[in-house]
Structure 1
C-alpha cells in the first residue's frame, strides 16, 4: 500500500514547482497559487466571498473583525497544501493520485463558495446546506471549464470532497480527502481559529500550527496524531472553547445574530421571502434584499445594521430536560408570541411579537474522534490520557450554552422583576 514512488514524486514536484503566484496574507504571509488557481479565484462567485464577513456581526464587539470568507478560503487552501505535502512524504499514507491531490486543494479553496451572508445567522433555518450549494456551484460551467481545462481535474471529484451527498460510490480517495478537510485536524479549523483571533485582537485562538502539522500521521482512511502532538489538540480544543466564550457566542454577537435570524425566519414562514432569494448573496446584497420589504419584522435586520440592538432580559444555562422543546424554531416562535402577549397584558405596552426573541445556541461538541499514535500502536483520544475527559467536555458545553430572552430596551427594564416568573411559567419549572 502507500503512494507509489512515481506518483509521490509527481505530487511533490507539483507542490514544489507549480505554485508561483504569490498572494499576500496578513496571517500566513505569502500564499502561493498556480496560474490556473489564480484564474479559479478570479471567477465572480469566488470573488463574492470578499463581501461576506467571516464573523458576521462580531465587528460590533471587535471592530477589527472585518476579515472575509475570501481571506479564510485562501488560508484554508494554504494549510491544506502544507498538510498534504506532509502526508505525501509519509510512507503510511494511503494510495492517492496527483489528480486527487489537486482536487483536494481545489476543494479546500472553494469549500465556502456557497456560504450564506452574515456567517451563522442562517443556521437552523429551512435552507439548503451551504456545502450542497458549494457543490452545485463547482459543477456550473465557469468552474467546470477552469477546473477541467486549466487545473486538469474532474469537477465532480472537487465537489464530492466538499459535499458528502455527491459521492454515492464511497470512493476511498474522496473519503480520505474529505476527512482531512472536515475533521479534528482540519485546515478549516486551524485557519479560522488563528485568523479570527488575529483580527479580533485576542490571544485565545493562536495555535502552534507548524508543530501541529508536523505531528500528523496519515492512516488508511483519515489522519491520526503522534502522542507528542497531544498538547496541540488540547490547545486547539481550549482555544475553540475560549473563542466561543469570548467571540463567537459573545452576548452582543448572539443578540445581533438572533435578530437577523428571526427576520429571515418570519419572512420564509410568511412566504414573503423565497429561499432561493437568499442563495448567492453577500452581506450587502442580503441587506438590500431585506431593505426593500415592508413587513415590520425586517426592521430587526436594519436595527443590527444601525447598531440598535435588543437587550438581554433573561439568561439561564441550557438544560435539555427543560429547554429542549424550544430548540424547534416553530415552537420557539409560539413561546415568543406568548411572552409578547403576557407583556402587553401586564404592562399595556405596544411590544410586538417580532420584538421578542428567545435565543438558544445550537449544540456544540468538543468530542474528539481522533487516534493517537503511542508505543507503536493507535489509541482512541479518550484513552490517551488527555485532560479533556468526558466530564471536562460536558462542563465546557454547559458553561457556554445559555438560554436568553431579548427584548426592546424599555420593555426589558419595565418587566425586569417579572421576567423570571414569566420564563418559569413558560417552561413549566
Structure 2
C-alpha cells in the first residue's frame, strides 16, 4: 500500500466533520477552518445573489443563490478527490495529489465564485473585469478572508492561481486542479446543471454525478475518463443544450438580461457609473441603483425588478455574414444602430415617446458544444472525445449553436413588429 496516498485519503475523512445540509446533495462536510472561510463576509455575500438572476420570474423556484452553488461545487470537488485517491490505492500507482494541494483546491472550489456580482455572466461583453480576476484580488486583498485562508493552512496566492487562469502557474498539481475546476466535466458544470434544473423544476440538466465522479481519472496531468464513460460527456452536452434552450436563453430571460445590459452600458459609457461600483453589490443593492442614480435608462432596472420586460419584435438565427449581425458584434455599432432604429420609429412610424434605451438589440455570446476531455482506451492510450463514437462532431455542435443563438430586437409592447421590420430596412 502507498502510505502517502493512504495518509492523504485519511486526511479527507479525519477533519471534515462540520455538516451543512443542502437540498440537492444532502450532507456537505467542511473542516472547521473551511467553515470560517465560508462564514466570512466575502463568501456570505453570495447568499444574496441569485444564481440565475431574473429567471425566477419565469421559473418561480429559481431563487437559489451563488452560495448554494459554491457549496455544491466544493462538495463535488471533495467527492472527486476521494475517488481519485481510492483509485490510486487500488492500483498502487503514485498520485500527484498532496494533502496541502487538496486543501488548496477545496478552498478554491468553495471560493471560485466570490468575484461574482449580479448578472456577471450576462455582462461579459461590457468593459468589466472577469469574476475570476475579481475573486483572485479579493482572496489577496480582503484581510478577513486572507487571514481565514492562512489559518486553514493554505496559501492565498495559490488558491487565487487555481481560480484565475490569467495568473502564471507552473506547478503540475495546481495545473491539474485548475483544469479540474474549469474543464469538460468540471464540478462547476456538474453542480449548476443539476441545481438549476432542480430549482427550475425541469428534468433537462440532471447528470449522473456519482457515476461521473467515480470514473474520472488523471491522465498526463489532466482529468480524463475511460472510453466506456463517453456517454456521460454526451449527456452533459445534451443537457447543456436543453438548459440553454429552455432556461438560460429563454426569450423572456434574454429580454431581462438585455435590458440590464443596455442600462449598464449606457451608464458606463456616460460615466454615470463605474465598473468598480458594480463589483461590491448584491442583488438588493444592484436593484436600488435606479433610486440612487437620476438617470433615465435605469428605468429598465425597475422594470426587470417588477417583471415588466420588453417585447421581442425581431428574431433570426445569428449569422455572422449578415449585415445586421456583423454590425452588432461591436457594442458601439450596436448602440448606434439602436439609436438609428429608435429615430426611424419616432420619425416615420409615429412612436414619438420612444426613447433610445427602449430599443435593445440582443445577441448572445458564442457557445460551444464540444469537449476536449481525453478518453482512455483499454490499452492505456487516449483519444480525444471528438474522435470517439459520439454524435458530437464539430458539425453537430455548430447545428446546436445555430439553433440556440438568435439575434433579437426588443422594444416596448406598444411598438409593432411590422414597424420594427420596416425600420430595419432603412438602417
**TM-score, length-scaled by structure 2:** 0.95
Alpha-carbon shift at residue 209 of structure 1 (Å)? 0.7
Whether 2:395 is the aligned partner of 1:394: answer no
Alpha-carbon shift at residue 367 of structure 1 (Å)? 1.3
User: Any residues of structure 2 matched to 1:343-354 within 5 Å, and which?
Assistant: 343-349=345-351, 350-354=353-357
Alpha-carbon shift at residue 424 of structure 1 (Å)? 4.5
2:377 corresponds in structure 1 to: 374
1:201 corresponds in structure 2 to: 201
* Residue pair 2:217, 2:225 contacting (<8 A) in 1 also: yes
Question: Could you tell which deviates more after superposition, 380-389 or 75-84?
Answer: 380-389
The separation in 1 between residues aligned to 2:94 and 2:285, in whole angstroms, is 44
User: 3-state SS of the aligned residue for 2:382?
Assistant: strand
Q: 5+ unaligned residues in a row in structure 1: which ranges?
A: none
Alpha-carbon shift at residue 329 of structure 1 (Å)? 1.1
What number of residue pairs does the alignment pair up? 418
The separation in 2 between residues aligned to 1:93 and 1:65, in whole angstroms, is 43
Alpha-carbon shift at residue 119 of structure 1 (Å)? 4.7
The separation in 2 between residues aligned to 1:356 and 1:274, in whole angstroms, is 23
The separation in 2 between residues aligned to 1:291 and 1:180, in whole angstroms, is 42
1:192 corresponds in structure 2 to: 192
User: 3-state SS of the aligned residue for 1:90?
Assistant: helix
Cα separation, partners in 2 of 1:202 and 1:169, compared to 1, 3 Å: closer
* Residue pair 1:7, 1:98 contacting (<8 A) in 2 also: no
**TM-score, length-scaled by structure 1:** 0.95
2:364 corresponds in structure 1 to: 361
1:88-139 deviation digits (Å, cap 9, x = unpaired):
2334665232111100000000000010213533221101111000001111
- The root-mean-square deviation of aligned C-alpha atoms, in Å, is 1.4
1:392-415 deviation digits (Å, cap 9, x = unpaired):
11110000000000000101x2xx
Alpha-carbon shift at residue 53 of structure 1 (Å)? 0.2
Whether 2:4 is the aligned partner of 1:15: answer no
* Residue pair 1:51, 1:283 contacting (<8 A) in 2 also: yes
The separation in 2 between residues aligned to 1:420 and 1:130, in whole angstroms, is 37
1:71 corresponds in structure 2 to: 68
* Residue pair 2:55, 2:253 contacting (<8 A) in 1 also: yes
* Residue pair 1:310, 1:408 contacting (<8 A) in 2 also: yes
The separation in 2 between residues aligned to 1:325 and 1:336, in whole angstroms, is 11
Alpha-carbon shift at residue 295 of structure 1 (Å)? 1.2
1:218 corresponds in structure 2 to: 218
Question: Could you tell which deviates more after superposition, 214-223 or 28-37?
Answer: 214-223
* Residue pair 1:184, 1:369 contacting (<8 A) in 2 also: yes
* Residue pair 1:94, 1:220 contacting (<8 A) in 2 also: no
Q: 5+ unaligned residues in a row in structure 2: which ranges?
A: none
1:352-388 deviation digits (Å, cap 9, x = unpaired):
1110000000000111111111232211111111111
The separation in 1 between residues aligned to 2:86 and 2:158, in whole angstroms, is 23
2:293 corresponds in structure 1 to: 293
The separation in 1 between residues aligned to 2:399 and 2:140, in whole angstroms, is 43
Alpha-carbon shift at residue 142 of structure 1 (Å)? 1.2
The separation in 2 between residues aligned to 1:60 and 1:324, in whole angstroms, is 32
Of 329, 336, 339, the residue aligned with 1:334 is 336
Question: Could you tell which deviates more after superposition, 7-16 or 327-336?
Answer: 7-16
The separation in 2 between residues aligned to 1:125 and 1:178, in whole angstroms, is 25
2:233 corresponds in structure 1 to: 233
User: 3-state SS of the aligned residue for 1:223?
Assistant: strand
The separation in 2 between residues aligned to 1:260 and 1:121, in whole angstroms, is 9
